[in-house]
Structure 1
């Protein structure tokens, strides 16, 4: 038992070392972690944004379809993590090269995750300060509130996936109960008439789908940060389907209905309006906590790779990135770059497409065909640039995944990628691995 505990601690201390099968976790624990990512303020905001531009049912259906795409892509990429036991930033090494992946991919992921950690923490701190003032008559400094809650959320990420799952075991059932109660009380106070109010459709159905996917684009592409702890592909499918889809759709629907019924998508504000502000603020804090801890955790993996930090310094790096995100959000710096962070989805999605095509199509889904490439792999980098540009032109983020798959296959056909070991006939050299046989 002691040896097993030591092994688990070692996994949590390390950042990019592949997780061996002996140290994998149950799919249920990872499902709770992924569910925690979906229950956050932006999830409710998504429903509000959709229903502001289209009627209730098109808003719900387009948003749900967006979640379907998230689950499909997250599962396909997540299975690679389960096969190899590797973090998301390292999976791009074959297609970008070791240097290219470190400079481009890990840096891009880190900026996005640290930024959203700070922005969401700022929302949490503001809500807590308002609660202290309005409900208890206490003037609590906003900066202090942001820093305190940022450090609290950061601690969970420092302890790793085990702590994240324990937090979500408690928070997810609580959030489901509180969100259900909030909906019932909102309907009792305001009635259902608002749900049937006419809305002029100013957003197309496909734009709604794209918006829904965009809210989780980075989390979708970086899914292997958590699925590397899954035992096999089947567990990855179960944890993703049961963790992401139900909670994602529930928060979407609540955001849609609250916006129409109560005039506010924020469940914490609605609960305050109906007379139970304590439940409201705890709901918002927990919803932010479960998501932000994963932001800090994943960002630390990317920073470790980007700056070539010793692999066993994950915990220290997590503290650093969390403090940076907290301070940037506390002093309002990130308020000026929020739209920029949203546009990063156009750059992130093609990376996911390259992971998919390189592993599943070119590599035939065999762990033996995956290996690291030194320097830059220009086949993958050029494909990434073209795909991101095309996706931006048509304004559909997830199209970058499709473009990357198609373009990579064409270019790789004429200029075989350095990410593949080829024998004299041009066929992939297959090697037996323990990991493949276990999966």
Structure 2
């Protein structure tokens, strides 16, 4: 997508990761958790869940640092060049760019609401198209712009969110409300943990798209720990308190009420914008890998695909594909299991033993597919009324894929470390 300048500091990577979590979905997740568990338990669940995300990120990110390649390129060893480009990249592309279109529509509706507050009437679909195109154009500038946007958006969003937090305690008697709060339903720790991990599993798998610009493995460790855990736990805590204090799970509408419609609306748009440039950037890398598009045409490809996704979202078509993208997103985490088994367990983290596999690595695809069934099937069943609804567990999917690939390679001798071949 751009020249590979390996001069990214760990704090720049951390702010990109932090920016992905300081968002409306994180606040909503806090409200979801606290609806079925106490506030202290929700915070503990968030801490454990994001600690697991950090472990996945470190595994994935270090591989991209070692090879100076995005996630889909590093995956060519365990899935093969064809398997990575035609299967894994396609799923990543549909998920990332599909969510991009839907989020652009959400931002467009927010802009429409702000304008309406000032007696300006503009159709939501027009706002969605304009916002979506702006997001695509900014994503074309690559990692440098994503970092700059995060440095602007994250502090602004934290100020607005903390103001809302203060307002809740100053004007909504939040302290007494929270102290007297009892969940209306019951969510087990395991289910809460699964929900937390699943909410950011896609980001953990594709973190290599951004970590590839770092120079040291330690940069990924520091960026993941300090960029993910504090932001994730704080946002879930604030989301939980706001949900309790204002007695509503509609966090988006609360933004419009914070300060003035413009101040709150800008926070909502920025929250969507900084997440969406990540979706567009990673989606563009995946699409380019699917069709083997030369480097010089990749920015144009990102623009074309992003515009198409925005147009489809604006007219409402993508809403019908949301369940499909939910299933695809649930199938992505086991990719990390297969890659981790090869890179860390079989080759012991020796970067020199990485090499792409020609064609299709059927062992890798098979291991991923079995793991993906653990995530995809429960998600499908959850859409069908009056049937058994097992909990989709991305952690189990990752572990299953890792075990199958590791032991499968032992039996098939498909991956023998280079030093053992000598």
Are residues 1:349 and 2:349 paired?
no
1:64 corresponds to: 47
Q: Name the structure 1 match of 2:114.
A: 131
Q: What is the CA distance between 1:265 and its match in structure 2? A: 4.4
TM superposition shift of 1:404:
1.2
| Stretches of structure 1 lacking an aligned partner (at least 5 in a row) | 1-11, 430-439
Aligned equivalents of 2:64, 2:87: Cα separation in 1? 20
Q: CA separation of 1:57/1:305 partners in 2, compared to 1, >3 Å: closer, same or farther? A: same
In structure 1, the partner of 2:405 is 408
Runs of 4+ in 1 over 6 A off after TM superposition: none
Residues 1:359 and 2:356 are matched in the alignment: no
TM-superposed CA distance for 1:268, in Å, is 4.9
Q: Is the 8 A contact 1:156 1:293 kept in 2?
A: yes
Q: Is the 8 A contact 1:55 1:198 kept in 2?
A: yes
Partner of 2:101: 118
After superposition, what is the alpha-carbon deviation per residue over 1:201-226, rounded to whole angstroms, capped at 9, x for unaligned? Answer: 43211111111111111111001000
Match of 2:277 in 1: 293
User: Which residue is 1:23 aligned to?
Assistant: 6
Question: Structure 1 81/50 Cα, relative in aligned 2: closer, same or farther at 3 Å?
Answer: same
- Cα distance in 2 for partners of 1:78, 1:266 equals 34
Pair 1:197-2:186 in alignment:
no
Corresponding position: 1:336 with 2:320? yes
Q: In the TM superposition, what is the alpha-carbon distance from 1:252 to its structure 2 partner?
A: 1.3
Rate the CA distance shift 1:387–1:267 in 2: closer, same or farther, 3 A. closer
Match of 1:388 in 2: 372
2:244 to 250, 257, 260: 260
Say which of 19, 25, 29 aligns to 1:36: 19
TM-score (norm 1): 0.88
Please say which of residues 360-369 and 43-52 is displaced more in the overlay.
Answer: 43-52
How far apart are residue 33 of structure 1 and its match? 1.3
Of 325-334 and 177-186, more deviation after overlay is shown by 325-334
Distance 1:285 1:428 in 2: 55
Cα distance in 1 for residues equivalent to 2:47 and 2:201: 15
1:234 is matched with 218
Q: State the match for 2:235 in structure 1.
A: 251
Q: 1:433 corresponds to which residue?
A: none
- Superposed CA deviations along residues 119-140 of structure 1, whole A, max 9, x for unmatched, are 111111111101211x201111
Q: CA, structure 1 residues 274+80, in 2 after alignment: closer, same or farther (shift >3 Å)?
A: closer
Cα deviations across residues 281-311 of structure 1 (Å, max 9, x unaligned)? Answer: 0111111111100100000000000011112
What is the TM-score when the length of structure 2 is the normalising length?
0.92
Structure 1 counterpart of 2:295, from 298, 301, 311: 311
Matched-pair contact (CA < 8 Å) for 2:66–2:351: yes
Structure 1 residue 41: Cα displacement? 2.0
Aligned residues: 407
1:163 to 145, 155, 168: 145
Unaligned ranges ≥5, structure 2: 379-390
Contact 1:96 1:381 in 2 (8 A): yes
